[in-house]
Homo-oligomer: A and B are copies of this chain.
Amino acid sequence: MTTGVAELARRTYVALVHHPVLDKEGQTVTTAVTNLDIHDIARASRTFGLAGYFVVTPITAQRELVGQIVGHWTHGAGRAHNDKRTDAVSLVRIVPALADAIEQVARQNDQAGNPFVVATGARPRKETLSAAELREARIPEQSSMLLVFGTGWGLAPEVFASADAVLEPICGPDPNDHYNHLSVRSAVAIVLDRLFATPGRA
């Protein structure tokens, strides 16, 4: 079981989408990349043994910025300062659109075709899967999995419409309390833990 989970993690990628996502009013916008989204999600991706982490933004200057941050840690001064961070940030790939992430994953796994694309969001929806259901039964053998997270106020509807599955939202313990405004950094960490954690006993 543990081996199976580690094996699935090794063919799983995260995508952090900055477009198309919604703003507070429900309009489709492009959000800005933040330094900490790169680091926190890279560290979580590395901790849970993933294959890669795509930062998705159509803005050229933002892709260049991400490239500079990644370069600092993988080739620059950061490497000497903290090699654990280098290890994590090395997972980062920078692409203009989610379709490019899907294509890159498909190319790396040419026997199995496109990855199984899983959209995530905070709002309750019909026909969502739990992490356990996703892990145990739904990913075609050999397929890669691409877990897609939205910045801003969440992924635009077309991302959900084109996904192969939607993960259930993360909810607190009180069924009468509908507050679930986690940061995307927290949401990624929780989803990876639900899918891939193992007991950490001494």
Q: B39 and A201: CB pair below 8 A?
A: no
Which of chain B's residues has its CB closest to A81's CB?
B24
A19 in contact (CB, < 8 A): no
Known: A46-B181, A88-B181, A182-B47. A125 touches B172 (CB 8 A): no
Number of copies: 2
Interchain CB contact under 8 A, A198 and B182: no
Complex Cα distance, B185 from A43, in Å, reads 11
Residues on B with C-beta less than 8 A from A82 are 24
- Report which A residues bind B (CB closer than 8 A): 2, 5-6, 8-9, 24, 36, 39-40, 43-44, 46-49, 82, 84-85, 87-88, 124-126, 128, 130, 168-175, 177, 179-183, 185-190, 193-194, 196-202
